[in-house]
Structure 1
Amino acid sequence: MAKESFAQALAAVLVHEGGYSNHPDDPGGPTMRGIIQRVYDAWRRAKGLPPRPVRQIEDGELKEIYRRQYWDAVRGDDLPAGIDYVVFDGAVNSGPAQSAKWLQRALGVPADGQVGEVTLAAARAAAETGPGGLVDAICDRRLAMLKALSTWRVFGKGWGRRVADVRKLGRSWSTGGRAPTPGIPVGEGEAAKGALASARPAPKPEAGAGAVAGGVIASTVAEAVRQIEPHAAASPALSTVFAGLTLLGLALTLGGLAYVWWSARAAARRADALDLVPGQGKA
């Protein structure tokens, strides 16, 4: 797309942003057409203007914020057709650095959250051979991260529909199609985004349950050892049981420590793969 693709991409983004919202579960707080109060305050301060409610944001202000803080931040003018919109929408929803990482991981280049010449060259090459596949890879990563967030239970329906629409429109534009901007009504609270890049992943209950169960068993074995120990010397059978239980207790303790270590490593790998390491969201 040429540079005028910003207007087309922004129109598509605003379909999903809706109007004003201030959902209690949205860390972003008051939001108007996708711009949160914190962003609006910072923009007005930079302009030497007094703060005011984001609900009063003007069209000119809205367009400049979207272009400077999201479109330009991911180098939308330099990205291939369709890919520019997909990355731009992700930047609006989860922050420019996060969206850049989805693009970079999909391309297999270092994911530093900054769209530079290496990323752009890889994106152009991918657009030449299979732009639809790149769109899918970006959207798949985005959806996987969103589903892992604790706020998925509140905003998941709207987020899932949004990613599906972005995927469809991005694929169309990336292959030269002229699919119209979708006119999908956004329900109350579904457009709210929050600081997705810094949100914590939903806990995995099975990991906690396993650790608790292991601790209960180890404690039970330790109590049995304590009860048998005074009588072990007087009975070969009890001595054997005592030795066995002691070894079992030691094995359970070591196993528990190994499980905690393994769980931490697995969680770290999962967080890295899904870009869930706490960081900056929309600022």
Structure 2
Amino acid sequence: MDESCSKTANLSCFILSSVYVGSLYVWKSTEDRNHPKTVIRRFISAFCMLFVAPAIVYITLKFMNPEESIDLLSLLGLRYSGLLSAISLPVLLTSVLFLGPITITFFDGSWKDLFRAECWKTNLQDILWIRNQIVAPISEEFTFRACMLPQLLKCYLSSQAVLVSPLFFGVGHFHHMIERWRQGMPLLQSLLVSCFQFAYTTLFGMYAAFLFIRTNHIVAPCVAHAFCNVMGFPDFGEIGRQTGWKRIILASAFVAGLVGWYHLLWPLTEPTLYHNNP
């Protein structure tokens, strides 16, 4: 690994992460992050990052190798070939991982909401739902995966890039600690919550980076991210709240989901399925 190359890539990724988080706070406001005005302003910031981030990538790659021809759209995973697979297979793979939580939705009947037009109409009128399920997955994956990984892959092996890139993603979520503290949460509690958030966002970041590298499609980690946001963090305590045969089925579903995901991870991300031919 070229030390100069890695320093340049790491610095660029740090700048990207800082600019992304900083763009959320350029607006002077006393409202919290869930206030409609704050959400809309941050939508504007996220939209601007769709243009700022690629510019940073292009400048950095040109600095690394001025003579190299850059197909920026392809590097960012913006292509049509293999798009259908990139939309469907990552969702299938991620749903296997969430087999336990999905089983819970069958127990409580909430799975039916998926097929209710009224439920979708309500969601699409909810600005927080739009933020969590559409804007956040797209803007975060575009910045932290599509724009960071092409730079890191110039200096790191794929396996190394999968481990390095999520660190920027995890650290990028620490700004929520300040927001929680300002809203009255004790500083220590806010720090602990942020550390937990850092842990699982870093783990997801590894998975998302893996999807992007294997598929060379930004839509792949985007749909996986959106699915995870819909499901939320798995509630393992639900196993203890169930009784009899439901407890056995639910516990088995959690285990089967993890095992199934592990065995399907490589086959369902085979690059040829996504027309990702080196």
Work out which structure has the larger RCO, using CA pairs closer than 8 Å and 6 or more positions apart in sequence. 2
- Tell me if both proteins adopt one fold, taking TM over 0.5 as the criterion: no
Q: Which has the larger radius of gyration?
A: 1
Q: Which category describes the TM-score, using the shorter chain as reference length?
A: under 0.3
